[in-house]
Amino acid sequence: MPGVADAYLRAVREKYNAIEIWPESDRWLAHVKTWIAGAIAEWQPRLGLTPNSRILNAGSGDESYSIAPGMVINSDIADRKLVGMPCGVAGDLARLPLQTGAVDVCVCVGSVVNYVPEVPRAIDEIGRVVKPGGSLILEFENSASLEYVGTPHFGRDVSQVSTFFIYENENIWVYNERHMRRLLSNAGFEVEAVSRAHFIAPLVHGYAQNIHYAARFLWLDRFIRHIPFLNRHSANVIYLCRRR
């Protein structure tokens, strides 16, 4: 259904062109951003970057995460977010305007793949542009999040959900880890490291439908991420992957 997908992408572009992505006043988002930035900082030494490296920041918005050294190509469907970003390339993640093997590293975080109607194609595209031996840091929202317990979405490979972002409802796709790992493997990636965040707060949000109240439970992440059964049910997952 190309017409429907195009309309969805247009709506995403308009939305992100117009908003501040991580407003400081939003405690929930601040927590996600700090966790993503922490995982990138922790894994950065494993990326083998040099001043000659080429890095694709896919679905960059206006955030660079200080990934260095190397040349960063910032790419996003929301073209206005790229104004002032070095090396900005406007375009859809599922149709990257880059040559095969063009980059050493791709960073794709901030739930970018959850906005993509054709996620297998987007992951294949990332696999195409990252050269063999290169790396990918990928973050996404998980269908096994406790927020979806008792709903038809819980644990599904792919499910379209109505959720919230900056106090607005929006429709995105969520994926389970098994499905995402299969897509990554098909695209030539092995998962080398994982971090997970957001456990109890999404459960509270699922019942209370109040993110301010749910955000009070974010501190519990610190403990729950170490409990093997529960930590599979995080709302957000981030992978460090190596391209075969």
Ligand X SMILES: C[S@@+](CC[C@H](N)C(=O)[O-])C[C@H]1O[C@@H](n2cnc3c(N)ncnc32)[C@H](O)[C@@H]1O
Residues at the site binding ligand X, with contacts judged by CB under 6 A? 9, 12, 16, 21, 59-61, 63, 76-78, 81, 92-93, 109-112, 115-116
One-letter amino acid for residue 173 of the chain: W
Closest distance to ligand X from the beta carbon of 35 (Å):
11
Closest distance to ligand X from the beta carbon of 109 (Å):
5
Burial-class residue 230 by CB neighbours within 10 Å (0-12, 13-18, 19+). Answer: middle
When CB distances to ligand X are compared, the closest residue is: 110
Nearer to ligand X, 112 or 201 (CB): 112
Gap between the Cα atoms of 210 and 181, Å rounded: 32
Nearer to ligand X, 59 or 155 (CB): 59
Nearer to ligand X, 78 or 184 (CB): 78
The three-point CA angle 49-244-176 to 5° equals 95
Gap between the Cα atoms of 27 and 29, Å rounded: 6
Gap between the Cα atoms of 234 and 239, Å rounded: 13
Beta strand ranges found along the chain (DSSP E): 54-58, 71-76, 88-90, 103-108, 130-141, 158-165, 168-175, 189-197, 236-243
Nearer to ligand X, 81 or 196 (CB): 81
Nearer to ligand X, 6 or 244 (CB): 6
Nearer to ligand X, 93 or 214 (CB): 93
Closest distance to ligand X from the beta carbon of 228 (Å):
28
Closest distance to ligand X from the beta carbon of 136 (Å):
14
Nearer to ligand X, 81 or 198 (CB): 81
Closest distance to ligand X from the beta carbon of 75 (Å):
7
Closest distance to ligand X from the beta carbon of 145 (Å):
16
Asked whether the beta carbons of 137 and 59 are under 8 A apart, the reply is no
Gap between the Cα atoms of 217 and 200, Å rounded: 6
Closest distance to ligand X from the beta carbon of 144 (Å):
20
- Kindly give, in sequence order, each residue whose CB lies less than 8 Å from that of residue 242, ignoring residues fewer than 6 positions away: 133, 134, 135, 136, 189, 190, 192
